[in-house]
Amino acid sequence: MSHHRTFLINGSFDQAISAFDRGFAYGDGVFRTMQIRNGLPVNWPLHYQKLVADCAAIGIVCPSAELLMNDLQQLFPVNEFDENEIKVAKIIITRGEGDRGYAPPAVTAPTRAVIKSAMPQYAALNYAQGVNLRVCETRLATQPKLAGIKHLNRLENVLARMEWREDAIFDGLLLDQQGHVIECTMSNIFARFDNKLITPDLTLCGVAGITRQRILWLESVLGLTVQVTSITLDQLLQADEVIICNSLYGVFQVNSIGAKSWQQQKLASIIRNALIHD
């Protein structure tokens, strides 16, 4: 496949990533993935805020919003968009280049890469009927200093995603070492118990996505009590309804997790509508 003009590195179509880049060598960086509509990133203020926070958590100075917007405008010229067409941008920020060894140089210039790709074709059936999950054998390690951050060390997700090949499985459920539900390989998860909506506590591991945050803010709109708390797999399987979310597909109902299945219900579409209008 041709990669011509599908990515920018430090604002240039001609630059390459150095073998000394710490993102390449150590996964020393963070990233975000977002929809682009009409040339503009959807929910940009939240994505940028999260990028800044994640960079700060590992001591990287995040490039300015202006710089990144400039990159996005170069990669996604508004005149190239058909109405309703959606594309995907991935922004990667690394600490930049350094010598061999873990200690970062006293002064580094962050590397920023912005990548353009097509929006995945999520089957209309997924929106209408929901999706199936499997429980992954790969367990998430505990590291409070990195918890919540979308950092470049994603080997756990890679190993978990390698566990299945069948198209019928949309995503894999990830538990921590103690058996608590944390997230899916590319999604956050919510469970409804009567009029209470809960999502796992991510203070020890996991990625706190912006769609998860937006759903937490919808509490009054949904008329549900929303709570962040730890939840075991056994508890999750007792839920009245389970949904998963991310910035690309939005929200899907979960039909089944392994042998457990749920009836068709309305929460996923209610939240989808609420997110569009919030």
Q: Which residues contact 207 (CB under 8 A, 6 or more apart)?
A: 148, 149, 150, 183, 188
Is this structure's pTM higher than 0.85? Answer: yes
- Say how far apart CA 243 and CA 11 lie, in whole Å: 38
Domain boundaries defined on the chain: 7-118, 124-277
- Say how far apart CA 197 and CA 66 lie, in whole Å: 37
Q: Is residue 219 within 8 Å of residue 225, measured between CB atoms?
A: yes
Q: Indicate the fold that domain 124-277 takes in CATH.
A: D-amino Acid Aminotransferase; Chain A, domain 2 (3.20.10)
On whether the 7-118 domain is CATH 3.30.200.20, my answer is no
Q: Which of 65, 46, 54 is nearest to 217 (CA)?
A: 46
Q: Which of 26, 208, 211, 1 is nearest to 115 (CA)?
A: 1
- Say how far apart CA 67 and CA 46 lie, in whole Å: 16
The bridge status of strand 250-257 relative to strand 111-118 is unpaired
Q: At residue 16, what is the residue type?
A: A
Q: Is residue 233 within 8 Å of residue 245, measured between CB atoms?
A: no
Give me the pLDDT at residue 3, please. Answer: 56
Q: Is residue 81 within 8 Å of residue 39, measured between CB atoms?
A: yes
Give me the pLDDT at residue 107, please. Answer: 87
DSSP assignment string, 124-179: HHHHHH-EEEEEEEEEEPP-TTTTB--BS--HHHHHHHTT---TTEEEEEEEETTS
From first to last of the 278 residues of the chain, give the pLDDT tens digit. Answer: 445 689 999 999 999 999 999 999 999 999 999 999 988 999 999 999 999 999 999 999 999 999 999 999 999 998 888 878 899 999 999 999 999 999 999 888 999 999 999 999 998 889 999 999 999 999 999 999 999 999 999 999 999 999 999 999 999 999 999 999 999 999 999 999 999 999 999 999 999 999 999 999 999 999 999 999 999 999 999 999 999 999 999 999 999 999 999 999 999 999 999 998 76
Give me the pLDDT at residue 79, please. Answer: 85
